Amino acid sequence: MRAISLTGMKLVLGLLVAALLGACGHAPGSSDSGIRGRAIVRPTCPLEPCPAPSGTPISAAFSVLKDGEVVTDVKADPRGRFSVRLGPGKYVLRGSNGVPFLKPVAVTVRPHVFTVLVLGFDSGIR
């Protein structure tokens, strides 16, 4: 078995710390900025006027993409509320291809601020 010198151990430890710190840059959960808001579904009835025109909260899921790559997946709570920490930058929120449907939503996250959104999912009711 080969022993590693103290200098070699310091080098390995230094590289490991640098890699871990570099990975923290824009990862979800590592920032004081991001997006938060409510997910709603509409329409909720097939006839107009609908008694709940503003939409009903929904525990829907969506993905957050940056440069076409999924950064994280998010699911709203039963009241439709969601929050995700993201580094500053431009993102696209995309729902699944099923029902309820969410058209892609472009979002710009600014430093030290949470962008507030109401995501309107389409129920498919007509």
Assigned token pair, 21: 């710190």
Give the integer Cα–Cα distance in Å for 8 and 124: 61
pLDDT at 46 over 50: yes
Determine what percent of the chain is predicted with pLDDT higher than 70.
69
Element (H, E) at 21: helix 6-23
Give the integer Cα–Cα distance in Å for 3 and 77: 52
Among 43, 55, 49, smallest CA distance to 123 is for: 43
Stretch 31-57: mean pLDDT: 81
Residue of higher predicted confidence among 28 and 57: 57
Element (H, E) at 92: strand 89-95
pLDDT at 25 over 60: no
Domains and CATH numbers, the chain: 27-122 (2.60.40.10)
Residue of higher predicted confidence among 116 and 49: 116
105-109, strands of its sheet edge to edge: 69-75, 61-66, 89-95, 105-109
Stretch 73-87: mean pLDDT: 96
Q: What is the model's pTM?
A: 0.69
| 88 DSSP β-pair partners | none
